[in-house]
Structure 1
Amino acid sequence: MSKYLGSTLLFLCLGLLFQTADAQVLVKRQLTKMGSLFDITVVARDSIQADQHIQNAANEIERIENLISEWRPHTQIAQVNQYAGISPVQVDKEVFELTRRAIQYSQLTDGAFDISIAALDKVWVFDGSMEELPSDDAIRNSVQYVGYQYIALDSVNTTIFLEKKGMKIGFGSIGKGYAADKGRELLQSLGIQGGIINASGDLSTWGAQPGRQLWKVGVRNPFKPHKMIKVLKLGYGSVATSGSYEKFAELHGKRYAHIINPITGWPSTGLTSVTVSGQSAEFANFLSTSIMVLGNKKGKKLLKNFADYKAIIVKDK
């Protein structure tokens, strides 16, 4: 869900092109994929090699988008949604396993995380135009097609079946984190010793900068954008942020985040941002999204189950 918070994390690495005495260069390129800006940074022997591998990472991200995008009509996930309530759809094992993990995330959070929220009826508007709360009936009806319990998986035939007509699944919450992880995995397999795949704030790092310095990622203060709460130093790691301070509705003196509780249809309240760091961007984003929905107390209880992941939680003022 950090697609909404691309400005939350601030890179402190050195420039777009930096060459050291041992003939390593650091090259950074920006491109648009999955409806968001990706920054891809690699450490290579020269800029030609770096550009080649940045393109390799871009191709991998494009490959993933062509599997899981709910907006591109030819993708396997789009077909799953098209046949909701009609028949199962066979998918690649990669898509099947990503969906299986997403269902596990739902089970871990008792539904606070749910990829079937893609079918949510949009009764909330977060562009500043809302003046009144939606009616209770409208909110209740908005989640009628949401429910991970109705996503049926057949591991023998690798099929996905949405049991209710009108259901949809989508990976806006963890898809870019997954792409960042897969981009890192690919470039490591090609021998790139260090880099960052940053998917608008869902990022995966490995190795180090030229000169063997760890990657530095600053977590900005949502109430003081020019200040940082903390600087994270990463080798092999990932960071993801979810939050409300860039996209929200303020009604009757209360702030409602764009992050919706899949069970109730109400926006999350109480937390302004959650930044999670650990090994996987996909998993970190699952946690950051879930903690936003669960709130501070329940969110910290969830986090305690995963000792390798840490969170920076900022409460509403």
Structure 2
Amino acid sequence: MKPVLCLLLLLTGFSATSQVLRKRAVKLMGSRFDITIVASDSLSAEQHIDEVIAEVTRIENLISDWKTDSQVSQVNQNAGVGPVRVAPEVFALTERALHFSKITKGAFDISFAAMDRIWKFDGSMTDMPSPEAVKKSVEKVGYEHIVLDRTRSTIFLKRKGMKIGFGALGEGYAADRCRDLMLAKGIKAGIVNGSGDMSTWGKQPDGSDWLVGITNPLRKDTVFAIVPLRQSAVVTSGSYEKFVIFNGKRYAHIINPRTGYPATGVSSVTVFGPSAETANGFSTSMMVLGKDAGLNLLKKYPDYSCILITDDGRIFSSPNLTGKKDKF
């Protein structure tokens, strides 16, 4: 859930330098992708948008866990049976996801895809799940039971019923990959926004930085921070729209994979840094870890910064965050 980002774009698409800006919104990877390209002419910009779409589609066909013929689905289908050889790209993405699982001690877990969806946030839940049901829902989750063989480029899930998935990292990875592809093709500016996982590069046609505005989920009509994005990425994780309330306590849709219970204490985390994939890993982890542990984790990675909003509306930001901020 990522609507607290407000991208502030040049709307005309033209400038004195004859650069044009073209945008297109499409559905990819089950989500909305907004693609913005700055090029010397409209035809070139539209052609490069087509190339971005083709690249995201290629990645989706590799890593989607709901496409039965994808490499990730083959890994899941062979859980408890044997290792599956995958493309180096899929192996490397899995390796990075497993690294995140380790540094967060399971607050982020690539095997979360195996969790039973016992929590419903569509208004249909009338009773809180029993402790036994919650415990059972995560019994097939456990990154410690994933075996990677770099020499053979294989992935093995040791337990029957285990699954891996890239719902948290896939869109960010695709956005990063498309940014690199466009830079390699000489496109000096643009944005690939995969459902709020944004990779940006270059500047707007008038020479100004891309800007992103951050709104408080408790006061959505107010932008309290404007942050320039220079060859950068930004991702938000939030828990403020999908939730249930039992006995006066709010339970949001982001689940702690270690316990099976919804994470509490943090309403949203927006992370800035060079990679949308990595920023997504941090934002998801920090929602589960909570304010203090989450901020302490991010301190170890100075290339990344954040704005964090707690359930009671308090706002915290990294000391290394740059931008124009109102009083918190």
What is the alpha-carbon distance in structure 2 between the residues aligned to residue 172 and residue 224 of structure 1?
A: 28
Question: 2:61 matched to which residue of 1?
Answer: 66
Aligned counterparts, 1:148-297, within 5 A: 148-297=143-292
For residues 167-206 of structure 1, what are the alpha-carbon distances to aligned partners after superposition, in whole Å with 9 as ceiling and x for unaligned?
0000001110000000101001110010000011100000
What SS does the corresponding residue of 1:245 show, helix, strand or coil? coil
Amino acid in structure 2 at the alignment position of 1:263: R
Instruction: Give aligned-pair identity as a percent.
Output: 54
Question: 1:10 matched to which residue of 2?
Answer: 6
**Structure 1 position 147 matched with structure 2 position 142:** yes
**Structure 1 position 25 matched with structure 2 position 30:** no
- Equivalent of 1:138 in 133, 138, 141: 133
TM-score (norm 1): 0.97
- The Cα shift of 1:254 comes to 1.5
**Structure 1 position 46 matched with structure 2 position 41:** yes
What SS does the corresponding residue of 2:13 show, helix, strand or coil? strand
Amino acid in structure 1 at the alignment position of 2:109: D
**Structure 1 position 95 matched with structure 2 position 90:** yes
What is the alpha-carbon distance in structure 1 between the residues aligned to residue 214 and residue 245 of structure 2?
A: 24
Aligned 8 A contact 1:291 1:298 in 2: yes
What is the alpha-carbon distance in structure 1 between the residues aligned to residue 16 and residue 182 of structure 2?
A: 23
- The Cα shift of 1:20 comes to 1.2
Runs of at least 5 residues in structure 1 that lack an aligned partner in the other structure:
none
- The Cα shift of 1:128 comes to 2.3
What is the alpha-carbon distance in structure 2 between the residues aligned to residue 97 and residue 311 of structure 1?
A: 26
What is the alpha-carbon distance in structure 1 between the residues aligned to residue 135 and residue 18 of structure 2?
A: 60
Aligned 8 A contact 1:243 1:257 in 2: no
What is the alpha-carbon distance in structure 1 between the residues aligned to residue 103 and residue 166 of structure 2?
A: 17
What SS does the corresponding residue of 1:67 show, helix, strand or coil? helix
Amino acid in structure 2 at the alignment position of 1:299: G
Aligned 8 A contact 1:8 1:201 in 2: no
Runs of at least 5 residues in structure 2 that lack an aligned partner in the other structure:
313-328
What is the alpha-carbon distance in structure 2 between the residues aligned to residue 128 and residue 231 of structure 1?
A: 34
- The Cα shift of 1:131 comes to 2.3
Amino acid in structure 1 at the alignment position of 2:187: I
What SS does the corresponding residue of 1:19 show, helix, strand or coil? coil
- Equivalent of 1:126 in 98, 116, 121: 121
TM-score (norm 2): 0.94
Aligned 8 A contact 1:67 1:77 in 2: yes
What is the alpha-carbon distance in structure 2 between the residues aligned to residue 76 and residue 314 of structure 1?
A: 37
What SS does the corresponding residue of 1:264 show, helix, strand or coil? coil
Amino acid in structure 1 at the alignment position of 2:204: Q
What is the alpha-carbon distance in structure 2 between the residues aligned to residue 116 and residue 26 of structure 1?
A: 40
- The Cα shift of 1:129 comes to 2.4
- Equivalent of 2:112 in 117, 135, 149: 117
